[in-house]
Amino acid sequence: MSKKALVCYFSVSGVTATMAKDIADAIGAATYEIEPKVKYSADDLNWQNSSSRSSIEMNDVKARPEITGEPADVDGADVVFLGFPIWWYTAPRIINTFLENYDFSGKRVVLFATSGGTDIEKSIKDLQNTYTRIHFDGGKKLNVGASKQELRAWASTYLM
């Protein structure tokens, strides 16, 4: 594996975090957690409540939840794996915040997502259409329990 990778992820319940750390372990990459300045509570995530924070954000294409913490070392990576849970059939708005805060010129951005049932295709298409200057190199919906061997086989194809 000749390219240097960084695994960035947003996770509320810990599922996406687990997958991100497993990918990083499998390919020997560093991780970066995309942390919201204001953490999400269970009430914030209630998709059945149109007044919940996540419902309001996802219904507003211009919503950009703030990120806190140290900046990601995107400059030091050739390939950025970017993971998130699928919300309302697409990437959470905090992923837009992240993408708008860094220069991905000359980098491959590989998406991965976790979801109970929704596939990743709409997320990929939405992000490609919004950020035409970024080279998105496909993506994959990952299932809980994927082996490190399976994750290494998938992720290493982007590092050649």
pLDDT confidence of residue 49 = 96
pLDDT confidence of residue 144 = 84
Long-range residue pairs from 155-160, CB within 8 A, at least 24 positions apart, any chain: 155/5, 155/23, 155/26, 155/27, 155/81, 155/110, 156/1, 156/27, 158/3, 158/5, 158/79, 158/81, 158/108, 158/110, 159/1, 159/2, 159/3, 159/5, 159/27, 159/78, 159/79, 160/1, 160/2, 160/3
pLDDT confidence of residue 117 = 86
The per-residue pLDDT for range 118-150, each reduced to its tens digit, is 999 999 999 999 999 999 998 999 988 899 899
pLDDT confidence of residue 28 = 95
Predicted TM-score (pTM) of the model is 0.96
In CATH, 5-156 is 3.10.20.30:
no
pLDDT confidence of residue 78 = 97
pLDDT confidence of residue 38 = 97
The per-residue pLDDT for range 70-79, each reduced to its tens digit, is 999 999 999 9
Low-confidence ranges of the chain (pLDDT < 50): 1
